[in-house]
A = this chain, B = another copy of it.
Amino acid sequence: MPSIDVCFSPALLPLYDLTGKIAVAVDVLRATSSMVTALANGVTHIAPVSELEACLAYRNQGYLVAAERDGIKADGFDLGNSPFHYLDDDYTGRLLAITTTNGTQAIRQSRTADEVLIGAFLNVGAVAEYVRRAGKDVVVVCAGWKGLFNLEDTLFAGALAERLQGDFALNNDATLAAFHLYQAAKPDMLGFLSKSSHVQRLERLHILKDTEFCLQEDTYTVVPVLKGDFLVPTE
């Protein structure tokens, strides 16, 4: 039986061997939720980029460029890190380069895995279905917040573990913790998260509607996968 494990911070990733496994990179608030939304709404591929300048340089190649630092859109970019940015226009066939505080780092550091998928509550069912069919061990790589543990990415790991229960072993401590936390949070996710540091930060930025959107499950069926330097929908 394959297993599901959870890495709570990119800083702990050197302790995990991703060889032969599927990594699911997650930054629920809001990088991976925005990426899933973008690909579900016509964007054909996404370049996840670590640095602002490298991201901006993609504009010369016809890309939309998106950047967030410390929760707000960076100066000079077309888009920030809100999933709503990808719903308010027609982006069919567009290419997107994006850099965010934590999310793009988690993706790039997961590259030793056989496959790197992008997870969010918005596509959790589709991710579960994909990895169930693949039958490989899975490691959820939480973006965290500047290296620290965060609740919302952990809850995603718990939601994925719940979907895989029965077909995947859930017996490591990190997965058990994520699973139990998700059980506790599920009846009122926003209430559960309302005391968390990141949701309080987003509330101060008046983007609570982003949080509500990002906590919806199974809105989209797209599963972004890293091919070379780009995220594209799985076929």
Chain A residues within 8 Å of B, Cβ to Cβ: 8-9, 11-12, 15, 145-151, 154, 170-174, 176-177, 180-181, 183-185, 195-198, 200
Contact = CB atoms under 8 A, between A and B. Distances in A.
A102 to B, nearest CB: 13
A13 to B, nearest CB: 10
Nearest to A146: B15
Given A11-B15, A184-B184, A172 B197 contact: yes
Contacts of A171: 195-197, 200
8 contacts: A11-B11, A12-B12, A148-B173, A151-B173, A151-B177, A171-B195, A173-B196, A177-B181
Given A177-B177, A184-B184, A15 B147 contact: yes
B151 A12 contact: no
Chain A interface, >50% SS class:
helix
Contacts of A145: 173
B177 A154 contact: yes
Contacts of A200: 171
A109 to B, nearest CB: 14
Nearest to A174: B149
A133 B145 CA distance: 31
A97 B12 CA distance: 30
Contacts of A174: 148-149
A176 B170 CA distance: 22
B197 A12 contact: no
Contacts of A173: 145, 148-151, 154, 196-198
Contacts of A12: 9, 11-12, 147-149
